[in-house]
Structure 1
Amino acid sequence: MEIFIDRLNERDAEELFTFECNNRRFFEQTVPSRGDDYYTFETFKNRHRELLNEQEENISYFYLIKNDSGSIVGRINLVDIDNTNGSAHVGYRIGEKYTQRGIANKALKLLVNTAAELSVNQIHAKTTSNNIASQKVLERNGFIRVTINEEKNELSGQKETFIYYSRTI
């Protein structure tokens, strides 16, 4: 499947909300929940606007992963950009019916190429120890495992093991 990344904009809100709702249970199997409020359209629109504001301020860049027909198949983001040292953190999620097709791998490769144009030269990533697919995607794209740490999940209160990665561009 051919994919491309498209920078998030205002007109994406409804389709992105549907994508998030349709994949909620799937995403929450490997990442902490965003909470019930996130899945009400009014709250989602407010958060969407906040993301667009961050993007306008060059604090974060948010991209939708789309297939060749323009449908959303996932998301990939550069967040917490530090312009003093050119570092950022990456996060991504692929919709359930689009997994195991190499989409995350392709999207991360596209984002790494785009990051250089945004003056980002160091990308950090964090994933849970049970998210083997994400670990493989990061390693295939040149990310190096930096550390493993057990932390309390703020939403669930449960302890989880996180694996931290980094890549220099």
Structure 2
Amino acid sequence: MVELVPVGHADRAALLAFELENRAFFEANINARAATFYSDEGVKSAIDVALDDAAADRGYQFLVKSDKGDILGRINLREVERERGSAVMGYRIGAAHVRQGHASAAVQAVLEIAFGRLGLRRIVAGARTSNLGSVQVLLRAGFGRLDDVADTVELNGVVHEHVYFERRLD
């Protein structure tokens, strides 16, 4: 069981601790954040941006929390386009919490928010083809692969195939 909590300043210290604890794990799997992010001021600034984005309906960031209130990961909806009723979803789960169903639960919860309260009709997400866990999370959540949309991403000097998936409210 996970709970999605909007990112806010009340969680700043815990979020910084989570990001520092998982920095090496995340940077081995996704492009690194700027070094300035990994400080109290950096996290404060990132939270300010998240709050501004939510207020302007540009994007929504959530912490994925356990029933005890521990941060397990993060999930977001960005690039909200009201005309198309769409957004792009991204997520990350901390190293100690992978392969426990938390990503799947978080994706289901954010889809309920997206298709419910936010009134969106289409969510797009991307994954490296080599990240089989993430691909499986998306497929289990009802996403279909957009076969005609793929590109490459560079991660730590290595080029990877990156594919996209979508889930529509039907």
- State the 1:38 CA deviation: 1.8
Aligned residues of 2:114 and 2:120 also touching (Cα < 8 A): yes
AA aligned opposite 1:151 = T
Equivalent residue, structure 2, for 1:8:
7
Residues 150 and 83 (structure 1), Cα distance of their counterparts in 2 relative to 1, 3 Å cut: closer
User: C-alpha distance in 2, partners of 1:152/1:165?
Assistant: 16
Corresponding residue for residue 17 of structure 1: 16
SS in 2 for 1:28: helix
Partner residue of 1:150?
A: 151
Q: Distance in 2 between matches of 1:7 and 1:152?
A: 28
CA drift at 1:152? 4.8
Query: Aligned residues, how many?
Result: 167
Alignment correspondent of 2:109 = 110
For structure 1, the residue ranges without an aligned partner over 5 or more in a row are none
Contact 1:145 1:165 in 2 (8 A): yes
Q: What pairs up with 1:65-144 in 2 under 5 angstroms?
A: 65-116=64-115, 117-144=117-144
The one-letter amino acid of 2:120's match is V
Give CA deviations for 1:51-82 in whole Å, capped at 9, x if unaligned: 11101111101111110111111111111100
Report the RMSD for the aligned CA atoms in angstroms.
1.6
Aligned residues of 2:145 and 2:165 also touching (Cα < 8 A): yes
1:163–1:152 CA distance, 2 compared to 1 (3 A): closer
SS in 2 for 1:34: coil
Shift of 1:36: 1.8
Alignment correspondent of 1:162:
162
SS at match of 2:29: coil
Deviates more, 1:22-31 or 1:78-87: 22-31
C-alpha distance in structure 2 between counterparts of 1:72 and 1:152, whole Å? 28
Q: Is the 8 A contact 1:151 1:161 kept in 2?
A: yes
For 1:122 and 1:149, locate their aligned partners in 2 and report how far apart those are by CA, in whole Å. Answer: 18
Cα drift, residue 17 of structure 1: 1.1
Mapped to 2, the partners of 1:33 and 1:43 lie a distance apart of: 14
Following superposition, the deviation at residue 40 of structure 1 comes to: 2.6
Query: What are structure 2's unaligned runs of at least 5 residues?
Result: none
1-structure distance, mates of 2:9, 2:103 = 24
Instruction: State the shift of 1:132 in Å.
Output: 1.0
- Percent of aligned pairs with the same amino acid: 31
Contact kept? 2:61, 2:75, Cα under 8 Å = yes
